[in-house]
Structure 1
Amino acid sequence: MTTKTTDTRSGLSRRGLIKGGLSASALAVTGFPFVIGSARAKSPVAGKTIGFSQSYATDEWLKAQRQDVLGTAEKLGLKTIVTDARESPAQEIRNLEDLAVRGVDLVVMITYYADAVQPGIKALNDAGIPIVVMSSSLKGNVNFDCHLAADTLGTARRAGQYYVEQLKGQGNVVQIEGKPGSVVNQERGRGWREVIDANPGIKVVSKGIANYSRAEALQVMQDFLQAQKDIDAVYCHNDNMAKGALQAITEAGRKGEMFITGFDGISPETLEMIANGDLRGTFVYPTFGGEAVEVASRILQGQKVPKELVFPSPMITKENIAEFYDAGTKTRRVPAVDLKSLGL
C-alpha cells in the first residue's frame, strides 16, 4: 500500500508530515485529505479512484468503518482519497466540493450533518459523480445511487420493547443521546420513546446529549446519578456512551441498581463487557464500509444496484455473545452478510 501526499488546501506537504514522523493512518487527525492506493489487485475497477468522506473519525465505530472501506478498496485495486471534516459541516462541504473538482469516479460517504452539507452533495451531483451513502440518509433535493443502513427505527422500537419486558412495565429510565444532527441518532430516540411513552408505568426521568462521546456520557451520567436516586435502566444511543455511563455508575457504587444497553457491537472491549455482565447488551450496527465499496465497484462497472440496502441489526446479549465474540482471542466475530438477500 502506498500513500500519495499532496495537499490542495494549503502549503503544507503530507510527504513532509510523513517524513516528520506522521503516519498515513494518523493523517486523518490533521484534517487533510490523503490518498491510499494499491496496485496489487486486478479487478474490473482496479486503478479507479473513489472518495471517502466522513464527518469525523475519532469514534470507534467510525474507525472500524474506515478500516473496512480501505481494506476492501485495496483488495479491489481502488485508489481512495480519504477526507475527515473533523466535526465541521463547513469543512465537510469543502471536502465534498474538492472531491467533485478532483473528478473522482465515485464517492462513498457518511454524514452527521445531512441538512447542512447539501451544497457539497449538490456539487457532486452537478459533476455527475455517483454517491454511495452509509448510515444516516441524505436530506433535501439531492441525488444518490445507493444508501446502506439498518432499520434504525424498527431496531429502536425493539429496544423499547426489550426495556418494557425487562422492567415488567414499571421503572425509571434515563436516556443518553448522540449527535442531534444525526438522522440515526434521531431515530434511535424516536423509536424507543414511541414504545416507552406508550407504557405509563415507565418514566424517562432524565435525558441528555453526549454526542456519541464516552467522556461526555461519563459527565452526563454523573449528573443523572446526583439528580436521581432511583434509576432502573440506562438507554444509550451508542456503545461509547454506554461505557461512559457504566464508568460513572461503577464509580458511584450503584452498579447493581440498573442495566445499560447501547448500539454498535463493534469493539472487543464492548463485547467483553457484555460477556462479563457489565453491560446488558447492544444492538448491532454494521459499519457498512466493506459492503459500500462492493456496491461502489458494481456501480463503476455499470451494474444496477438497489436504491436502499437494509442490514439486519440483532441484539447481542450474554446469552448469544459467542456468535459475535471470541473470548479466547478477544476479537469480534462478524457474521457474514448475505448480500443476495439484501437485493445485490
Structure 2
Amino acid sequence: MLTLKTIHRNKPQMHRLIPLLSLLLFITLIPTTQAQEQQVWTVGFAQDDMSTPWRRDQANQFKKLLEQDERFKVIITDAQGSAVKQALDAEKLVARGIQALVTSPRNGLIMDPVIREIYQRGIPVVMLTRKPASNHYTSFIAPNDQQIGRQVAQLLAEKMQQKGRILVLQGVSTASTAQARTSGFLNALKQYPDLSVSAIIDAGYRMEKAILVMEQILANQTPFDAIYAQSDSMAHGAIRALKQAGIDPSSLPIVGIDYVAETKQLIKRGDMIASFTYPNAAKQGVAAIKRLYSKQPVEKNLTVPSVMMSRHNID
C-alpha cells in the first residue's frame, strides 16, 4: 500500500523519474504534431498569363475559394504567356513540395511531358479549361469547346441564311480550347456548302491583338460577312477596329465566347448577336482538390455547362 511514508522514503527515486517521464511525454506528442502538419496541403497553380483578365480571375478565384479552408495554401505562378516558362513553373512548384498541381496549359504538347511526369509521381494534377496532349492527368474540368464551336456554326448559318464567308479570330492556337472551338466549328460548317471560312487568324484571346488583326484584314480587303471570335475580348477588339474604319458592327453577325460584363450591352445594341458563357471552373477545381485531399474519387473529365446568351435571354 502506497503511504506518505513510502513516498517520502522513495523521493530520490521519484525525483530521478521526472525527467524520464517528461521525455516520454515529448516523444509521444511528436507523431501527433507531425500528423497535424501533414494535414495542410500546398497546391500549386501554374497559370498561363496573369496579365489577361480572364486568366487572372480564374487563378485568383481558385486561390480565394480554396484558402477559405485552413487546410490549404495556394501558390500561383505566372508564365507571362510563355509555354516553356509555364512548364518550368510546374517543375519548380513540385520542387517546392506541393501536394497537388492545378494548371491550364498554353501549349498542350510542350506541357504534356512535364504533366505526365508529375502525374506518374503520384501528385494529383487538375486541369482547368485546357488540357495536355495525353490523358496523364487526374481530372480535366471545362465546358465542351467542341459543342460551342458547333453551336456557333449553326447560329451563323441561321443568321446568314446558310450563305457567306466567316472570319475566325482564333484564340491561342496551341491551346486545347482554341483547337476544339475551331474543329467543332469547321466540322459543323460542312453541313452548309455555301458557307465558307475567309480566314482563321490567331489573335491570342487578346483585344489589342484582335484590333491589329482586323486592321490588317481591312487593309488587305479580305472579304467576310460574319465574325466568329473565340473570346469576347477579341470580339470587342474587332468591333473597335470596325468602328474606326467606319463600318457599323451591327451590319454583320459577330459571335463571341465568355459572356463578360461588357458583352451584355454590346448584344443589346446589336453590335454582337450572341456570346457563350464560359465558366472558369475555379469552383469545380476547388471541389476536386478537396475530394482528393479526403482520398475520394474525382471525375476524369467533368463538363461545366455553357449557355448561349442573346437578345432572347439576357436581362
SS of residue in 2 equivalent to 1:247: helix
SS of residue in 2 equivalent to 1:108: strand
TM-score, normalized by length of structure 2? Answer: 0.82
Partner of 2:84: 90
1:107 touches 1:131 (CA, 8 Å); kept in 2? yes
TM alignment of 1:161-176, pairs within 5 A: 161-176=154-169
TM alignment of 1:210-249, pairs within 5 A: 210-228=203-221, 231-249=224-242
Partner of 2:265: 272
RMSD between superposed Cα atoms in Å: 1.8
The higher radius of gyration belongs to: 2
2:119 touches 2:138 (CA, 8 Å); kept in 1? no
Cα distance in 1 for partners of 2:200, 2:297 equals: 43
Tell me whether 1:296 sits opposite 2:298 in the alignment. Answer: no
TM-score, normalized by length of structure 1? Answer: 0.76
Cα distance in 2 for partners of 1:296, 1:207 equals: 37
TM alignment of 1:248-263, pairs within 5 A: 248-255=241-248, 256-263=250-257
2:49 touches 2:56 (CA, 8 Å); kept in 1? no
TM alignment of 1:1-344, pairs within 5 A: 47-77=40-70, 78-140=72-134, 143-228=136-221, 231-255=224-248, 256-265=250-259, 267-322=260-315
- Select between 227-236 and 104-113 the one with higher mean Cα deviation: 227-236
1:229 Cα offset (Å) = 7.2
SS of residue in 2 equivalent to 1:52: strand
SS of residue in 2 equivalent to 1:207: strand
Taking a change above 3 Å as real, the CA distance of residues 301 and 281 of structure 1, as seen in their structure-2 partners, is same
Structure 1 residue runs of 5 or longer lacking an equivalent are: 1-44, 323-344
Cα distance in 2 for partners of 1:163, 1:53 equals: 36
Which aligned segments of 4 or more residues in structure 1 are displaced greater than 6 angstroms? none
Taking a change above 3 Å as real, the CA distance of residues 251 and 124 of structure 1, as seen in their structure-2 partners, is same
Residues 191-214 of structure 1 deviation map (CA, whole Å, 9 limit, x = unaligned): 111222331222322332211111
Sequence identity, in percent?
Answer: 27
Cα distance in 1 for partners of 2:74, 2:310 equals: 36
Structure 2 residue runs of 5 or longer lacking an equivalent are: 1-37
Taking a change above 3 Å as real, the CA distance of residues 194 and 118 of structure 1, as seen in their structure-2 partners, is closer
